[in-house]
Amino acid sequence: MNKYESIIIINPSLEEEGLKSLIKTFLDLINTDGKVESVEEMGKRKLAYEVKKNKEAYYVLINFEANPGLITELERNYRITDEVIKFIVVKKEN
């Protein structure tokens, strides 16, 4: 298994309950074929530039271990989730 880091930028109009639910969904997906090491909810922050007409958004950082095949599925889920404005998944060096 490889170590990865993912940052998700989520729509700021999402309610607190919806935010928790969305994060839990992604964590459950990672845990199907990997292991979440840490989750850091960085809160609502100002964006460097406007993205999809939003000037600020919620940032969530997830550190996890997973098999490479899971990354494709995780990114697919990020893309089809309307609340996710932007995301990135980066493989960490060991």
Number of domains in the chain: 1
Q: Hey, which residues does 54 pair with through a beta bridge?
A: 51
Q: Residue 93 falls within a domain, yes or no?
A: no
State the CATH number of the domain containing residue 15.
3.30.70.60
pLDDT at 94: 67
Q: Residue 31 falls within a domain, yes or no?
A: yes
Q: Residue 14 falls within a domain, yes or no?
A: yes
Q: Which two tokens stand for residue 11?
A: 């729509």
Q: Residue 78 falls within a domain, yes or no?
A: yes
Q: Which two tokens stand for residue 74?
A: 């995780």
pLDDT at 58: 95
Q: Residue 48 falls within a domain, yes or no?
A: yes
Q: Residue 51 falls within a domain, yes or no?
A: yes
The closest of 5, 10, 1 to 92, measured between CA atoms, is: 5
Q: Walk along the chain (94 residues) and give the pLDDT tens digit of each residue.
A: 899 999 999 999 999 999 999 999 999 999 998 999 999 999 999 999 998 899 999 999 999 999 989 999 999 999 999 999 999 999 998 6
Q: Beta strand pairing status for 84-91 and 34-51?
A: unpaired
- Give the CA count within 13 Å in the CB-facing half-sphere of 43: 1
Q: Which two tokens stand for residue 36?
A: 């979440």
